[in-house]
């Protein structure tokens, strides 16, 4: 594998050089994910205990096939490895597209990288401690006198893992809004003026997130609304193109 060298905005690479750099970064991502997967599979019992904690104490998970305990464990380990390695995967993607940014755009984007893993971790913790317990309680308790409720391990762990990933990703909303405002793509006034449409989009997003019950939807919708309003406040304070680098576009009178 060739050594990846820093590429500046002024460099002009050939198509082969771009593909070579992309290949090297993909290899790095695969190696990091492989190490994380081996670690998660080694500690699979701990992962399964953590994932099963939101279930009621008397609820036992069900497997139906000979190979299902192994395949389910491997699936949980894969999701865990993805969560662990995601910050490095995101960095590799950023490092690949970084040369396309100008110096001003780099100064705008670079500080956001510090908060990406922090907000992702906060989102995962929020999903684990706030979203999962009431959602599981509601879903398992709904008409439980009419059904013999048994939970299949594969379905539960898939629901759990996708909920954790969704929680981490939706908490990136402030960074996305701050980035587009500092780059001058969207103004703060546009975000405030189109608030009703943003609320509708947030409601649709909450409905599309893992969880088919109204409890999960409401619990996921509330932080999204708060994050959107917080993003507007942050963008109003720090997100103008002039604040980003003193390069705001001149007005018509100044030209």
- Residue 40: the pLDDT is 93
The domain spans of the chain are 15-242
Please tell me the distance from the alpha carbon of residue 52 to that of residue 41, in angstroms, as a whole number. Answer: 16
- Residue 99: the pLDDT is 65
- Residue 108: the pLDDT is 66
Q: End-to-end distance of the chain based on CA atoms, in angstroms?
A: 51
Helices (H), 98-172: 103-126, 132-141, 153-170
- Residue 46: the pLDDT is 92
Please tell me the distance from the alpha carbon of residue 19 to that of residue 50, in angstroms, as a whole number. Answer: 40
Answer whether 84's CB lies under 8 Å from 41's CB.
no
Cβ burial, residue 19 (10 Å; 0-12/13-18/19+): exposed
pLDDT in tens, the chain (255 residues): 445 555 554 556 566 766 777 788 889 899 999 999 999 999 999 999 999 888 887 778 888 888 888 999 998 999 889 888 887 887 777 777 766 666 666 676 676 677 778 888 888 888 889 888 888 888 888 777 788 878 888 888 888 888 888 888 888 877 777 777 776 777 778 888 788 888 888 887 777 766 556 766 777 788 788 888 887 887 777 655 554 444 444 444 444
- Residue 190: the pLDDT is 81
- Residue 98: the pLDDT is 67
Token code pair at residue 10: 């002024």
**147-177 core/surface letters (b: 16 or more CB in 10 A; e: else):** eeeebebbebbbbbbebbbbbbebbbbbbeb
**91-110 core/surface letters (b: 16 or more CB in 10 A; e: else):** bbeebbebbebeeebeebbe
- Residue 251: the pLDDT is 42
């Amino acid at each position: 594998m060739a050594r990846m060298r820093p590429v500046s905005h002024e460099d002009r690479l050939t198509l082969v050089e771009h593909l070579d750099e992309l290949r090297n970064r993909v290899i790095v991502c695969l190696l990091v994910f492989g190490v994380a997967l081996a670690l998660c599979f080694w500690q699979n019992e701990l992962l399964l205990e953590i994932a099963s904690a939101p279930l009621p104490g008397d609820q036992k998970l069900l497997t139906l096939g000979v190979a299902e305990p192994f395949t389910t464990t491997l699936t949980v380990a894969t999701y865990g490895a993805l969560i662990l390695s995601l910050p490095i995967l995101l960095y590799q993607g950023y490092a690949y597209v970084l040369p396309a940014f100008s110096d001003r755009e780099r100064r705008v984007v670079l500080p956001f990288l510090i908060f990406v893993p922090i907000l992702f971790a906060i989102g995962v913790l929020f999903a684990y401690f706030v979203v999962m317990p009431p959602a599981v309680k509601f879903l398992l308790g709904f008409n439980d006198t009419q059904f013999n409720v048994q939970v299949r391990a594969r379905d539960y762990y898939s629901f759990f893992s996708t909920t954790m990933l969704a929680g981490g990703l939706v908490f990136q909303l402030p960074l996305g809004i701050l980035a587009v405002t500092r780059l001058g793509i969207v103004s703060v006034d546009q975000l405030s003026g189109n608030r009703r449409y943003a609320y509708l989009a947030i409601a649709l997003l909450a409905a599309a997130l893992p969880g088919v019950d109204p409890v999960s939807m409401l619990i996921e919708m509330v932080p999204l609304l708060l994050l959107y309003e917080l993003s507007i406040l942050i963008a109003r304070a720090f997100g103008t193109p002039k604040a980003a680098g003193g390069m705001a576009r001149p007005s018509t009178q100044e030209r």
